[in-house]
């Protein structure tokens, strides 16, 4: 069994997509634990409903990252639960060195744009404001920079003339729910390798 951990701050639709895909495809992948920095995160509810261990760990005093001691705690809990791959699914904090070093090349994220375009917050809104014709989503490895790590998978969606940030985000999320579980599967099956910035898939 390949064990993953999911970190989520919000509604957790990607978490749900991962849970459903593992079940549908009967994959030898287990979600060892779901962690959140937000006690209200619906992701925690989703985990509970599925009988998956879930924990709220208070983030400490900073807004955009975890306090160093808290970061250690997150790592500890993930390790205790046998996590081999950490999947960020709408986790709203930047991970620092302690965390990154504890899971080298073993942390991935889903971002709602075609990186390197529109890193950071509300990427779907950035895409609309910029006036691009296409956007999408990216699964990438996490490194120190924000949304800069090697790209594993991407999917494209059109930006329509009457799109609002909400309608575009919705269209992007439909693709997220396909490529994020798939990327996890590819890594679990040992089919993904990294060389410099490039990711190779067997």
Query: Judging by DSSP bridges, how do beta strands 54-56 and 85-88 pair with one another?
Result: unpaired
Q: Which is nearer to ligand GRF, 61 or 183 (CB)?
A: 183
* 3-class secondary structure, 3: strand
- Nearest-Å Rg of the Cα atoms of the chain is 16
Can you tell me the distance from the alpha carbon of 183 to that of 9, in angstroms, rounded to the nearest whole number? 21
Q: From the CB of 86, what's the least distance to ligand GRF, in Å?
A: 14
Q: How far is the CB of 117 from ligand GRF (least distance, A)?
A: 14
Q: Are 91 and 98 in contact (CB under 8 A)?
A: no
Catalytic residue among 111, 140, 169, 177: 111
Nearest-approach distance from CB 126 to ligand GRF, in angstroms: 13
Contact 92, 69 (CB under 8 A): no
Q: Where does this chain bind ligand GRF (CB under 6 A)?
A: 8, 10-14, 89-90, 110-112, 137, 173, 176
Report the residue closest to ligand GRF, judged by CB: 90
Would residue 169 show up in a list of annotated catalytic residues for this protein? no
Q: Quick check: 21 and 181 in contact, CB under 8 A?
A: yes
38 vs 81, which CB is nearer to ligand GRF?
Answer: 38
**DSSP letter, residue 94:** B
Q: How far is the CB of 46 from ligand GRF (least distance, A)?
A: 10
CA separation for the pair 31, 141 (Å, rounded):
19
Closer residue to ligand GRF in complex, CB, 111/171: 111
Enzyme catalytic residues: 111
């Amino acid at each position: 069994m390949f064990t993953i951990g999911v970190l989520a701050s919000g509604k957790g639709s990607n978490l749900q997509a991962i849970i459903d895909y593992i079940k549908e495809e009967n994959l030898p992948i287990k979600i060892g634990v779901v962690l959140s920095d937000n006690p209200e995160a619906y992701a925690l509810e989703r985990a509970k409903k599925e009988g998956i261990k879930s924990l709220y760990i208070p983030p400490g005093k900073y807004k955009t990252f975890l306090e160093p001691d808290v970061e250690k705690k997150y790592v500890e809990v993930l390790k205790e639960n046998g996590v081999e791959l950490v999947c960020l699914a709408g986790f709203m904090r930047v991970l620092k060195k302690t965390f990154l070093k504890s899971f080298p090349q073993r942390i991935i994220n889903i971002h709602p744009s075609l990186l390197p375009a529109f890193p950071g917050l509300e990427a779907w809104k950035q895409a609309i404001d910029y006036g691009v014709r296409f956007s999408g989503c990216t699964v990438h490895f996490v490194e120190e920079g924000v949304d800069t790590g090697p790209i594993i998978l991407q999917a494209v969606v059109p930006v329509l003339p009457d799109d609002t940030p909400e309608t575009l985000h919705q269209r992007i999320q439909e693709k997220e729910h396909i490529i994020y579980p798939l990327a996890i599967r590819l890594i679990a099956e040992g089919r993904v390798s990294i060389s410099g910035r490039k990711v190779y898939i067997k």
